[in-house]
């Protein structure tokens, strides 16, 4: 379902509240769009698969919990209120020791597993 919003919203979007509506972990949900970019919230726990996005950078903002982003030469830890941008084409894997809620910013149509595919690939462009 594609959301097109003609009028400005009368309400701010509460990121934690939107993330709490997601039933399954590792299932990003779109909460807003700006130009061709989507703002997605997701709940994660454990480790994701190694993947890259050759066509785009990917931004992660932690809402709650602690995110670990594994990169080819080490890991970056992202705390609530912090942001990290994985540059386009850089292989990475997200992980969290306990449930973590985060927002991702990326162009519309980008798959969470990049070009790797597999059972962890979530449906794209699903709004909550």
pLDDT tens digit string along 85-97? 999 999 999 999 9
Q: Whose CA is closest to 107, among 2, 36, 5?
A: 36
pLDDT at 5 over 60: no
C-alpha distances in angstroms, 66 versus 22, 99, 122? Answer: 18, 8, 22
Q: Whose CA is closest to 106, among 47, 13, 36?
A: 36
Q: What is the mean pLDDT of residues 11-39?
A: 94
Q: Please tell me the predicted confidence (pLDDT) of residue 33.
A: 94
Please write the tens of the pLDDT for every residue from 33-85: 999 999 999 999 999 999 999 999 999 999 999 999 999 999 999 999 999 99
Q: How confident is the model at residue 116 (pLDDT cuts 50, 70, 90)?
A: low
For residue 60, the tally of other CB atoms under 10 A from its CB is 21
Q: Please tell me the predicted confidence (pLDDT) of residue 123.
A: 72
The owner of tokens 């726990």 is 45
- Give the pTM: 0.86
CB under 8 Å to 114, separation ≥6 — which residues? 51, 52, 53, 54
Phi, psi of 59 (to 5 degrees): -105, 140
């Amino acid at each position: 379902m594609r959301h097109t919003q003609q009028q400005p919203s009368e309400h701010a979007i509460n990121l934690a509240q939107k993330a709490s509506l997601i039933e399954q972990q590792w299932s990003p949900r779109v909460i807003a769009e700006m130009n061709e970019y989507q703002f997605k919230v997701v709940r994660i726990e454990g480790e994701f698969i190694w993947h890259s996005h050759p066509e785009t950078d990917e931004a992660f903002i932690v809402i709650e919990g602690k995110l670990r982003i594994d990169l080819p030469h080490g890991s970056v830890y992202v705390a609530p209120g912090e942001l990290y941008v994985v540059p386009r084409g850089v292989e990475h894997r997200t992980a969290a020791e306990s449930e973590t809620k985060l927002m991702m910013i990326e162009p519309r149509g980008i798959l969470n597993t990049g070009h790797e595919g597999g059972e962890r690939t979530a449906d794209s462009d699903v709004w909550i």
